[in-house]
Structures are given as C-alpha cells and as structure tokens.
Amino acid sequence: MSANIKLRIQNPLLKTGLQAMLKEEKNILLLRDESYDELADICLFELNNEDDIRYIKNMESISLRSRILTVLSANDLSLVTQALEYQVAGVLMDNASAEELLFAIEYIIKGNKYVAPSISLQFIQKIGSLGSSTLFSSKMELLNQKERDVLELIMSGHANREIAYQLFTTKRKIEEIRKSIMKKIGVENNLSLTAFYLNQELYHKDQWAQHKAQA
C-alpha cells in the first residue's frame, strides 16, 4: 500500500502521535499542512464537536468528504452518525493502535468504509432492544429491493436529493421510502437506523466467517 496522507488535527499530542505512527511506514507520504486536500488519498480529520460536522457538511466536493478518516476524540455516537451521513470514509477512535490505523487507511483506499469495532459495538448496544442478529436479519427481509437500495445509499452518505437522482425519482419519494424503512425496522431516528445497518454488516461478516471455517 502506498498513500499520501494529510493531517487536519488540532490537538498537538494527538497530531504528534499520529505523525510518529505514519512516519514509520515507508510507503506513506505525510503531506505538509499547507498542501491542497486534493493531493491526499486520505485526510485524517479530528472530530470533536458540531463545528467539525458543519465543516465537513460545507465541503463542496463529495470526493473530498469521501477521503476523510475522522479521528473521534469525544465519545459521541451522534457525531459518528452525522459524519457517516456526510459520506466520510470512516471513523477511528483517537486511542487506536498503529496496526488499526494502517488497516483503516488500507481498507478505505480499497473503496470500503471503516468504522472502529468499538464504535460499532456501541451502536449495537444503543439499540439492544431490537434484539439478536437473527432478528435483525428477519427485519431486513421486510424491506423490498427498492428500500434496500435506498438504505444502502443512505448509509453510503448520500442525501435524499442525490439518491433521487441516482434512482430516477423525486426527493419526496425518497423521503417516503426512508420513513417506510424506519417503520418496518422499528426505529425512530438516524442513530438507530445507522446502528441497524452496522449490525447487518457485522452479522453477514460473521455468517461468512462461519461458512469459511466449515468449508
């Protein structure tokens, strides 16, 4: 893996620690602070509060947003939900190991989204009342193909207007489908919807791992 990495980190201790981790890697080039964001394959962005969310939201280029790996300092799931909605590449805790940091970078460069396991577990615990993975899977079966497509696009960070454009329909129709999805699943807000989706991801990965082990 080779990558150009830019740090948008305000906390000097966190920035120094990340620099030390990344400088050990021969295939990673740390860009200067004043370099253009467009030059970076991944931008590590410190996420602390709503001001940081607004900064991400106001970025005109979706391409730039989709290169951001947020480093979460505050343990706030609502910030994670909003960051994912605005199509950031992933979320990492500020105490992540060098191994996890490098894995996240490589995983994102391959076109995936990365959410730290500890954060995924918090999402699942947040809506534990929805039940087991089996129940989550059965709830997913309640969705028709159109609803599944819309859910995938929502969780990829697309706004209703963007989804409507991709699916050749109207923004109002997408809003109706979104409400239908939430009603069928039994959730009331975006945080719970994100948790449901992440649980689905973990469930299918677990099923695949079990199948591979039995093969």
Question: pLDDT tens across 91-115, in order?
Answer: 988 888 888 898 889 888 888 888 8
Residue 159 has pLDDT above 70, yes or no: yes
Mark whether 154 and 206 lie in a shared domain: yes
Q: How far apart are CA 92 and CA 86, in angstroms?
A: 16
> Which letter does DSSP use for residue 188 in this model?
-
pLDDT tier at 199, thresholds 50, 70, 90: low
Mark whether 9 and 111 lie in a shared domain: yes
The residue among 66, 210, 69, 206 whose CA lies nearest residue 124 is 206
What's the mean per-residue pLDDT of the chain? 80
Residue 156 has pLDDT above 80, yes or no: no
Domain count, the chain: 2
* Last-in-domain residue among 104, 124, 144: 124
Question: What average pLDDT does this structure show over 66-89?
Answer: 84
Q: Which of 26-30, 60-64, 181-185, 205-209 shows the lowest per-residue confidence on average (mean pLDDT)?
A: 205-209
Q: How far apart are CA 73 and CA 97, in angstroms?
A: 14
Q: How far apart are CA 7 and CA 29, in angstroms?
A: 11
Q: What is the pLDDT of residue 176?
A: 92
Mark whether 164 and 90 lie in a shared domain: no
